Amino acid sequence: MERVYTAEATAYGARLGAVVSSDERLDVQLSRPTEMGGGGGPGTNPEQLFAAGYAACFHSAMRFAVPALDLPADALQDSHVTARVTFLRDGVPNFGLAVELALHAPRLSAEQAMAAMEKTHTICPYSKATAGNIQVDLRVE
């Protein structure tokens, strides 16, 4: 495959520090959620960052699934994808992630929306990267 774009970000201070992209467009403070034993400070966390990236990439990749399924051109109008990333722990240091992707697509039937989700799951780079590594559940809202 041709390399098209490379994103670069550096983390400082682990979960209580910051993450900054090389172009400084992303510059966020990190905080550990109270559910993970942290103080629940004002910063974001790696799970939220992963959820944001996965949701945006998956929703974008859907534009390639719609024509492949012969769905209407405006099928994704007013739609959105929500990613829920769950941090899993089974002792230390056995950690993992689980993802739920939910599609809200008012112009599609539930069956069409699920077909679009399933097709997109074969296209999206995040889905390809996680395949066989973490559980990803697809859901239609």
The pLDDT score that the predictor gives to residue 91 is: 86
Block means of pLDDT (10 residues each) for the chain, 141 residues, are 97 96 98 95 97 98 96 96 97 94 98 98 98 97 96
Which amino acid appears at position 97 of this protein?
L
Sequence-distant (6+) residues with CB within 8 A of 105 are 75, 76, 78, 79, 112, 113, 116, 140
The pLDDT score that the predictor gives to residue 78 is: 98
Please, are residues 138 and 118 in contact by the beta-carbon 8 Å criterion?
yes
Please, are residues 114 and 138 in contact by the beta-carbon 8 Å criterion?
yes
Sequence-distant (6+) residues with CB within 8 A of 12 are 18, 19, 20
The pLDDT score that the predictor gives to residue 92 is: 85
Query: Checking DSSP bridges between strand 95-104 and strand 135-140, what pairing results, if any?
Result: parallel
The pLDDT score that the predictor gives to residue 40 is: 93
* pTM attached to this predicted model: 0.95
Q: Is the peptide bond before 46 cis (omega within 30 degrees of 0)?
A: no
Residue-wise pLDDT for 73-95, tens only, equals: 999 999 999 999 999 999 889 99
Instruction: Share the mean pLDDT of the chain.
Output: 97
Sequence-distant (6+) residues with CB within 8 A of 99 are 51, 54, 83, 84, 85, 86, 130, 134, 135, 136, 137
